[in-house]
Structure 1
Amino acid sequence: MGLNLRQAILDNVENHNKNQLQATIEDALESREEKMLPGLGVLFEMLWQEADENDRTLMLETLEESLARK
């Protein structure tokens, strides 16, 4: 039996509203557990795929600035 991690993550948040999604993201960030990273990656993948060029540019600029502060 193969496990499709991406689909399992999407199934887990499928019917979440905005507040539930925010709580999920904040919990993952606050816990700092490595096992949460795939879920955040799947959410970022969805965000990236739905973003237009301006939103992608903003995300990249924000990431670049954040990395420069590290």
Structure 2
Amino acid sequence: MNNIDLRQAIINRVQSNTADQLKEVIESSIDHDERALPGLGVLFEMIWKQSNPSSQGQMVQALHQHLSSAGNNTAANPSPS
């Protein structure tokens, strides 16, 4: 049996999807079962690697802004550990 890493397994699963199907995969994974989070991470990694420094900066800024505002709500939304 071939050993396949998680990244490659995720890529193989969505590789032939249409743009609409990829959007559905993303939207159905957000705010749902946490088992989908590694898949979203792989997809984000692919986007990051193909983005220019300006786009990467915009993503970091958007994430930073979200985390800064979410930091005020940490007591209301504890980690599910």
* Gap regions ≥5 residues in structure 1: none
Higher helix share: 1
The residue that corresponds to 1:34 in the other structure is 34
Q: Per-residue displacement from partner, 1:25-52 (whole Å, max 9, x unpaired)?
A: 0000042x12101100000000000000
Higher relative contact order structure (alpha carbons within 8 Å, sequence separation ≥ 6): 1
Which SS does the other structure have where 2:16 is aligned? coil
The residue that corresponds to 2:12 in the other structure is 11
Moved beyond 2 Å, runs of 4+:
none
Aligned residues: 69
Task: Quote the sequence identity (%).
Answer: 38
Point out the structure with max Rg over C-alpha.
2
- After TM superposition, give the deviation of residue 53 of structure 1 in Å: 0.7
The CA RMSD measured in Å over matched residues stands at 1.1
**One-letter amino acid matched to 1:57:** G
Q: Per-residue displacement from partner, 1:8-37 (whole Å, max 9, x unpaired)?
A: 100010011211111000000042x12101
The residue that corresponds to 1:69 in the other structure is 69
**One-letter amino acid matched to 1:49:** K
